[in-house]
Amino acid sequence: MKSRRVVVTGMGAVSAAGVGAKSLWLAARDGKPCIGPLQVREPYNGRVRISAQVRDFDIEARLGPQIAPFADPFTAYALVAADEAVAQAGLDPDERQGPRCAALLGTGIGGLKTIDDGIFNVYVNNKRPETLTVPKLIPSAGPSMLSMRYGATGPCFAIASACSSGSQAIGLALQMIRAGMIDRAIVGGSEACATNGSMRAWEMLRVLTPDFCRPFAKNRNGMVLGEGAGMFVLEAEEVAAARGAQPLATLAGYGTNSDAIDPVRPDAASAAACMAMALEDAGLAPADIDYVNAHGTATVMNDVTEAQALNIAFAGHCHDLLVSSTKPIHGHGLGAAGALELVVSIMALREQVAPPNLNTENQDPNCQIRLVGPEAVKTPIRAVLSNSLAFGGINASLIVTPAGAA
């Protein structure tokens, strides 16, 4: 079978900016950080007390009493974001999608809040675990609940590859549609990770900032933990056209590889090779990319490595290539990061606006890339590349181009 073009017909988001892809995009475009005081249920004595959490999100009010008991926040975020994507795609939410539709979800951790609460109750409060603890905490809870919600009886599974989880899930769905295995996928990434235990664990790695996320800045001192979900409806172009759907963008390229070197130290050559794979997959040259949504965690090693990788992958074009990280806005969503950032990337492409790179008054001279400044830039954008560079050396890059572009 000839490889098929794949389009994005719907997308949705739950993030620190609120519910909705539009809320996320406006915050990113307008440079309005959604980072605030850490809110956890039990007393917290950590040093880092900020996060980009999803706030004021009532799971039962949004999902109803039949579904809410089975939904850890990571599942709930995915379901609400997917409802938005399905509605935008023009699909009937009550129509079963059947065996030609997959439900895939990337998540780094799965039901961490259920795990954290359960451990606290067992070891501190000497209480029994909640009855539905196991079906709520497993990473497959997210995609299985998605499949049930939309009657998607095709492939259904979770992908857990740290900060590349969401991007890999989306990339795999792209490949499955191209290959003719399925016609449609409800896919993305979700994470609900701001718990007492998680915050302390990340703090011990010395990668959390106590004040500001400063990607590629000389004085950067770490990331802000974020939460949320980004979900998409991907379809074969001819399938979308047959039902009169209006695509938002074309998902043109995907690359993924592994450093196979170190659990936490990234490798520039591997990251560059990953970007080159995505370019080849999309049939594009480096000069065809006008904006990169960088992984840009504002950690010491990641930013230098990613900047080096961009210079390798794009060579002389790197000086003309606009780059920004939007993590100072929505935080680092771990397994949801790539999906949240793909929402931003698609909107950047559609509005022809490169979102700002905040808090970088003094760029690190070791990061020789052309950063977008503190304000968004209106500029012609033909294609966008979005990077996810994860612990364990797992890299993923996605490329989007305008709908209908050759």
Active site residues: 163, 295, 332
- What is the rounded distance in angstroms from the CA atom of residue 201 to the CA atom of residue 190? 20
Q: Which amino acid is at 167?
A: S
- What is the rounded distance in angstroms from the CA atom of residue 132 to the CA atom of residue 69? 7
Pairing of strands 322-324, 291-293: parallel
- What is the rounded distance in angstroms from the CA atom of residue 114 to the CA atom of residue 122? 12
- What is the rounded distance in angstroms from the CA atom of residue 184 to the CA atom of residue 95? 14
- H/E element, 148: helix 141-150
Whether the CB-CB separation of 181 and 155 falls below 8 Å is answered with yes
**Angle formed by the axes of helices 73-89 and 141-150, nearest 10°:** 40
Helix, coil or strand: residue 346: helix
- What is the rounded distance in angstroms from the CA atom of residue 176 to the CA atom of residue 185? 9
Cβ-based neighbour number of residue 402 at 10 Å: 17
